[in-house]
Amino acid sequence: MNGNSTILKVLSLGILGLLVASGSDAQAQSKLDEVLSRGKLIVGTGSTNPPWHFIDESGKMVGFDVDIARIVAKGLFDDPEKIEFVTQASDARVPNIVTDKVDITCQFMTVTAQRAQQVNFTIPYYREGVGLLLLKDGERKSYDELIAAGADVTVSVLQNVYAEEMVHQALPEASVDQYDSVDLMYQALNSGRADAAATDMSSLRWFMQQNPDRYEDAGYGWNPQTYSCAVKKGDADWLTFVNTVLREAMSGVEYAAYRDSFERWFGETPPEPTIGFPAEHR
């Protein structure tokens, strides 16, 4: 091998080494490292949708999504307050993740195959569905009575292109009155113009908790939707960390925080984790 060949080989190996080192550094620098170095978690969420995310009377951001985000912050820093909330519209949930404006989105985000092509979803932290809210002193007292009444039942629902079809999945013969605001939907129930209001199960539980002597659940839920947080694609360490935190909040060492939040916003106690075999893996 002549001198020039030796020099070229050394240079080639040097460049290759730099490329390998550079690639290793880039791979090692995950969102987890970035967040820990920054000293706070940046979370995208909403601000006008109780019980998920809203501003309380003291001006503080509260809600179940907010509590989930604080659980993640506690996992990072042992301090749930080391967090910055970015208020975003629903249509900004994916773009703000993709462009790194936020580290994570926790905003009652329904998991779909289409969205999963753009972001990575965490493990679920809630399963949403539709329920039927009744007046405690109303004529109909349960889902069975609503079904039995057939076409004599009127259901109020938030206006949506799929609203009538959705209601008829549960009550095939019912009349469906659509309203352009949640307030008007509930007013129809309160005034007797509707026998039931079809709404998200989480909203139903929240509304019942705020008005325990006035409303009750018909006892039937349908149209399930999975809620998860979302993170940027391509960062396995960050996704694994968040999944670990959420899993332990629902079934391990941080269960008390998840339970207390669930009880506060939905008025129910989630199932206690079993001791021994991890039942969630059945």
CATH code of 270's domain: 3.40.190.10
Same domain, 141 and 210: yes
d(CA 153, CA 175): 6
- Please tell me whether residues 165 and 253 are part of one structural domain: no
Tens-digit pLDDT profile for the chain (282 aa)?
Answer: 555 444 444 344 444 444 444 444 445 589 999 999 999 999 999 999 999 999 999 999 999 999 999 999 999 999 999 999 999 999 999 999 999 999 999 999 999 999 999 999 999 999 999 999 999 999 999 999 999 999 999 999 999 999 999 999 999 999 999 999 999 999 999 999 999 999 999 999 999 999 999 999 999 999 999 999 999 999 999 999 999 999 999 999 999 999 999 999 999 999 999 999 998 878
| Of 191, 213, 214, the residue nearest 135 (C-alpha) | 214
Last residue of a domain, one of 201, 225, 249: 225
CA distance linking residue 186 with residue 197, whole number of Å: 7
41 and 109 part of one domain:
yes
Contact (CB, 8 A) for 218 and 131 = yes
Domain extent, residue 179, equals 128-225
How many residues make up the chain in this entry? Answer: 282
**Burial tier of 243 (Cβ tally within 10 Å: 0-12, 13-18, 19+):** middle
pLDDT for res 28? 58
**246 lies in the same domain as 220:** no
Domain-located, residue 14: no
- Res 27: pLDDT: 53
Using DSSP, state whether 6 is helix, strand or coil: helix
Integer Cα distance of 209 and 280 in angstroms: 28
